[in-house]
Amino acid sequence: MECRRKRITKVDILGFEFEMGLFPNILDEARSKGIDIAPKYIPAEVFDKRAVEKNQVVFHDVAAIEVKPHIKKRSVAVELTDFSVFYSQDSIANAEAAIKEKGSRIVVEKGQIVKVSKDKNGIVTREVLTKHWTDWIDYWAVDFDFESKREIVRVLKDPPKQTVLKGMEKPEQMVMPEYEEVWTGDYIFENEWQSFRTKKERSIELKSVFHECEPGKRKIAVKVVDIFGNDTMTIIEVRV
């Protein structure tokens, strides 16, 4: 609303964390009103004076999901085709300068997890641990009918109800709180299919099973939880 009043068409939102399920609904709603919102994570380096002085603080974008629907008669399957992250924690340059001989450090820089090591002769080597975009995924799930369950919250009515207590010598009034159920405008993600890694099974499926659906348009939500526990969701519309 503030952007519309001030005729601002693009805004960055900085946060240490974002509420689960917040995206992409809020981005789509803003885009429909002509406002481009770019959510970005605030890195821990903002508290490091040396990193600030060296201009090494990077506000990285929220992860992005790409999916492809497969429709067969009256059923739909979803294929996860890409998952992009832009995290940065520390920097390779800082790690190389800080680690001692025969030491190592794990660094996250520009969406890659890198192991920086230094041998007894002071020679530094780098090993990229995230060799494929799937290495970032710990868990992903699909809701084949995202708008089937509304998000309802209980809110306090205003003004509260006044109640007279009986059986007292001097009747007194007591404030009894009353609540009403209100739809937030959002929907609850219901996990209807999932694939996740275990300690024994490190591989992950990239295509869901086919799910039978009623004919017509529907919105499918796909949620990905990365290896750092961050939650990302995207919504697609399909016609069965």
Map residue 3 onto helix, strand or coil: helix
User: To the nearest whole percent, how much of the chain has pLDDT over 90?
Assistant: 30
Of the chain, the end-to-end C-alpha distance in Å amounts to: 36
Q: Are the beta carbons of 184 and 199 closer than 8 angstroms? A: no
Whose structure tokens read 């207590």?
165
Mean pLDDT of 148-168: 73
pTM: predicted TM-score of the whole model, two decimal places: 0.69
Q: How many CB atoms neighbour CB 205 within 10 A?
A: 13
Residue 151: CA count within 13 A, CB half-sphere? 10
User: To the nearest whole percent, how much of the chain has pLDDT over 70?
Assistant: 88
Task: Compute the mean pLDDT over every residue in the chain, rounded to the nearest whole number.
Answer: 84
| pLDDT tens sequence across 25-65 | 788 788 889 998 888 888 777 888 887 887 777 777 778 89
Q: What is the pLDDT of residue 219?
A: 93
Judged against a pLDDT cut of 70, whether residue 165 lies above it is answered with no
Domains of the chain: 2-149+188-239 (2.60.40.10), 150-187 (no CATH)
Measured between alpha carbons, how far is 224 from 80 in angstroms, rounded to an integer? Answer: 10
DSSP 207: B
Cis bond leading into 24, ω under 30°?
Answer: yes
